[in-house]
Chains A and B, each alone.
Chain A
Amino acid sequence: MANIYKVYSGDYSKEGYDQGIDDRKENRPKNKFKFFKAVNPINYIWAFNNAFDSFNKNYDKGYLDGQRVEHKIYDTKQVKGANMQKDNYENHIRMLKDFKQNLLALKRHIQMIREKYKKQIDAMESAGFVEDIITPLRNKYQIFSSKIDEIDRQLAQHDQKIEMQTEALNALRAIARIN
């Protein structure tokens, strides 16, 4: 029940806080990508921003509380680490951009394949093929075309997922800049 509420509300405060405490306790550097392990896949499309924000804010809080318990003070190395992290995010965002470009090229290619096949059938018809042969082929082409639509829809969904990953990386980059 608690899980359903979590997925519905996108509230990952507890997971974020516990993870922050654990990481500090184990003396590990901050790693907010643990969000992607904690999050239910449904929250990639539902209440993603809330899930992401609640986890990250509370991760920071847990991490800080862990440090307070230990009575330790930040040193300058953390600033350098944050910059390295920021550069890394930019690199990953660039990679995703390339990936997105390739998806767009595939989308165009798939449409081209469909057009070419249609032209081939039209050419057969004008070459004098009897209707008995052409009509079933046109029907088959409709099924083929709907399968192409399906691929097109799938590529569009993939494009959205890439967009969401880009947004997540942009948010993490922004956090790294603040830190």
Chain B
Amino acid sequence: MENNNLQSLANQIGWCRTTKDYLIGLNGELHSVATNYQTTLDELRNRGYMADLLPQIEEMNREFQEISSDLIGHIEREHLAYIEKQSMGIRGALEKVMGSNR
């Protein structure tokens, strides 16, 4: 029974680690999406897109950078921090079970 518990806790720590890695990767993807938007705008600017129409697209880019960095912050504050906290809790439980086995 305790072995099962140990195994389950160890699995959960493993999953916490992969989820944390996943979330870090996800934030990386969001960064790259935001960079893509900026690059697309730069491309328009470099190709000499109409100066009168460009400010509207620059404003759109600002909006997008803002909304995507809000999401990146949300993932860091809420999701990554939560997974980290759970991971520490499970690790503590694992240590307790292992301690009582000794």
Q: Does B29 contact A (CB under 8 A)?
A: yes
Contact digits for B59-74, partner A, Cβ 8 Å, 1 yes 0 no? 0100110011011001
Which B1-55 residues sit within 8 Å CB-CB of chain A? 8, 11-12, 15, 18-19, 22-23, 26, 29-30, 33, 36-37, 40, 43-44, 47, 49-50, 52-53
User: Complex Cα distance A34/B51, Å?
Assistant: 11
B12 touches A127 (CB 8 A): yes
User: Complex Cα distance A106/B29, Å?
Assistant: 11
Known contacts A120-B22, A128-B12, A158-B60; decide if A106 and B37 are in contact (CB<8 Å): yes
B44 touches A99 (CB 8 A): yes
Residue of B with least CB distance to A151? B67
CB contacts (< 8 Å) of B12 on chain A: these are: 127-129, 133
CB contacts (< 8 Å) of B71 on chain A: these are: 144, 147-148, 151
A161 touches B56 (CB 8 A): yes
B-binding segment of A22-30, A62-70, A135-143:
A135-143
A143 touches B74 (CB 8 A): yes
User: Complex Cα distance A168/B50, Å?
Assistant: 12
User: Complex Cα distance A106/B64, Å?
Assistant: 11
Q: Does B94 contact A (CB under 8 A)?
A: no
CB contacts (< 8 Å) of A105 on chain B: these are: 36
Residue of B with least CB distance to A88? B50
CB contacts (< 8 Å) of A137 on chain B: these are: 79, 82-83
